[in-house]
Amino acid sequence: MIEAVKHIEKPENWVDNYSDYLFSFAISRVSDREMSKDLVQETFLSALKAYDKFKGNSSVKTWLVSILNRKIIDYYRKNSKKIEYNTLDSDSPFVKDKFLHGAWEKERQPLDWGMGDEDLSGNDDFIKVLRYCISLLPENLRGVFLEKSLGEESTQEICKEFDISASNLWVIVHRARLRLRECIENGWFNK
């Protein structure tokens, strides 16, 4: 049975069968076309090397995605070796002075998106702005944020992969979402 599956899923057919899927997965995570292309190619090469060990417990597709995901995490880890949590704070929209510490800076308070008036869900332009704003996130925030928001892994697993503590993870996710919200507001609502 496994041999039969393996026969259909011969490495020669991988590019035809899976490259589009893997590429769209990669580009949603790294927001860079060339980098995504390289990651897909590297995934195929690594998969080929490990093919003998592939037991067929999961589909080839799932297996390839897991290899790709590992490569994406490695890419982010390499590019954000020193996550300095103090510098993450530099763009905070909150007051840093003692007086009113932690309140919204006046010019950066959230505006009403008026979502009652207009149904934005599934709006292509909104998704475009969202994707653009994600691509603007600094890499030390983007990797963890996307893994947490799009991936299936638990908080614990992500912490292990990125070698961070759980409280670091929540700070990173929070900082990413603060930036994202503000970017969307500037890009979409103040056109």
Partner 1 sequence: MEKNLKNKMMNIASKMMLSCERATFYVDKSQYEPLSCIEKFSLNMHLATCKFCRLYKVESNFITTQIKSINFITTTTKNLTQEEKKIIKQTLDKQINTK
One residue of 6, 139, 181, 187 binding partner 1 per CB under 8 A: 181
| Stretch of 66-74, 77-85, 97-105, 136-144 contacting partner 1, by CB under 8 A | 97-105
Question: Can residue 174 be called a binding residue for partner 1 (CB under 8 A)?
Answer: yes
**How far is 38 from 15, CA to CA, in rounded Å?**
13
Residue with tokens 């020669």: 12
Question: Can residue 20 be called a binding residue for partner 1 (CB under 8 A)?
Answer: yes
Question: Can residue 127 be called a binding residue for partner 1 (CB under 8 A)?
Answer: yes
Q: Residue 190 Cβ, how far from partner 1 at the closest point, in Å?
A: 14
User: What interhelical angle do 155-162 and 60-79 show, nearest 10?
Assistant: 50
The number of beta carbons lying within 10 Å of the beta carbon of residue 93 is 15
Question: Can residue 37 be called a binding residue for partner 1 (CB under 8 A)?
Answer: yes
3-state secondary structure of 164: coil
**How far is 56 from 79, CA to CA, in rounded Å?**
33
Question: Can residue 150 be called a binding residue for partner 1 (CB under 8 A)?
Answer: yes
Residues 128-147 that bind partner 1 (CB under 8 A): 130-131, 134
